[in-house]
Amino acid sequence: MDKPTEEEAVEALKKEMQVWCSTPFFVNAGTDDGGRHLQIWLERENPSERLEGWICEMMPSGRYMGWRLIVIKCPPEYIRLHITNKKKKDW
């Protein structure tokens, strides 16, 4: 099976997360020293707590459609204020 494009994998993961996740989330692609990967940003009341079992069951290998997958836990409102907010910074 061929690895889908980054855009295809992001869109498929967004659709799947809508089924699995009842809290705010954001899916995008990112990069680090290991190369390109998919990211799931999950808002949590207490980001330092372990994730529920559903995310581990959904992606037990840390991969999705051949892409490395990273889950990032963040506090409530972080996604709206820092990721999807397109306002131009004034500094």
* Topology adopted by domain 6-83: GMP Synthetase; Chain A, domain 3 (3.30.300)
- Per-position pLDDT tens, the chain of length 91: 689 999 999 999 999 999 888 889 999 999 999 999 999 999 999 999 888 777 777 776 789 999 999 999 999 999 999 988 877 666 6
- pTM given for the model: 0.85
Domain ranges of the chain: 6-83
DSSP string, the chain: -PPPPHHHHHHHHHHHHHHH--S-EEEEEEEETTEEEEEEEEE-SSTTSPPPHHHHHHSTTSEETTEEEEEEEE-TTHIIIIIS--PPP--
